[in-house]
């Protein structure tokens, strides 16, 4: 009986959390959609603008044996799986979002985007 009361007390809180989560997801999906006023869309996602993201660019990948890994030294070369003229992969929070080509910006590396995943696909990747 006491357990039943605890479950009843917990259910409204869970229902409230589920409702907030569903509402947030609907606002996010609506903002990423094509319809509606741009100003309303911007206001709908303002709460997300200060969320930090981990952005990384992958040049290529390689597999090696542990013995080869342990024998690495300065001047050694690791051959990657991509050709020199292939686009680089841009990941945001470990999800592939775009491809691009390396550029130099103020003496630092940059990435010129040439193929970007659509906003609706980006939202889908969040799930």
My answer on whether 68 and 45 are in the same domain is no
My answer on whether 59 and 110 are in the same domain is yes
pLDDT in the model for residue 122 = 82
In the three-class reduction of DSSP (H, G, I as helix; E, B as strand; rest coil), residue 53 is classed as coil
My answer on whether 22 and 57 are in the same domain is no
Distances (CA, A) of 85 to 88, 100, 107: 9, 11, 21
CA 28 to chain centre: 15
Domain count, the chain: 2
Q: Who has greater pLDDT, 127 or 55?
A: 55
What's the CATH code of the domain at 58?
2.30.330.10
Question: Which residue matches tokens 């509402």?
Answer: 23
Mean pLDDT along residues 62-85: 96
Domain that holds residue 57: 52-127
Distances (CA, A) of 12 to 19, 21, 26, 127: 10, 14, 21, 25
My answer on whether 4 and 66 are in the same domain is no
Digit-coded pLDDT (tens) for 14-35: 454 455 556 656 656 665 554 4
Q: What is the mean pLDDT of the chain?
A: 79
My answer on whether 57 and 46 are in the same domain is no
Q: From CA 115, how far away is CA 95, in angstroms rounded? A: 14
Please state, for a pLDDT cut of 70, what percent of the chain lies above it: 66
My answer on whether 92 and 119 are in the same domain is yes
Digit-coded pLDDT (tens) for 81-108: 999 999 999 999 999 999 999 999 999 9
């Amino acid at each position: 009986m006491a357990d039943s009361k605890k479950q009843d007390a917990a259910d409204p809180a869970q229902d409230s959390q589920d409702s907030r989560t569903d509402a947030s997801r609907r606002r996010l999906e609506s903002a990423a959609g094509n319809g509606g006023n741009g100003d309303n869309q911007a206001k709908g996602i303002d709460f997300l603008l200060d969320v930090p993201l981990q952005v990384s660019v992958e040049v290529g990948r390689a597999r090696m044996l542990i013995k080869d890994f342990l024998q690495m030294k300065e001047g050694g070369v690791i051959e990657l799986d991509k050709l020199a003229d292939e686009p680089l992969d841009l990941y945001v929070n470990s999800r592939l979002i775009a491809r691009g080509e390396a550029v130099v910006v103020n003496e630092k590396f940059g990435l010129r985007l040439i193929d970007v995943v659509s906003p609706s696909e980006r939202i889908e990747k969040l799930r």
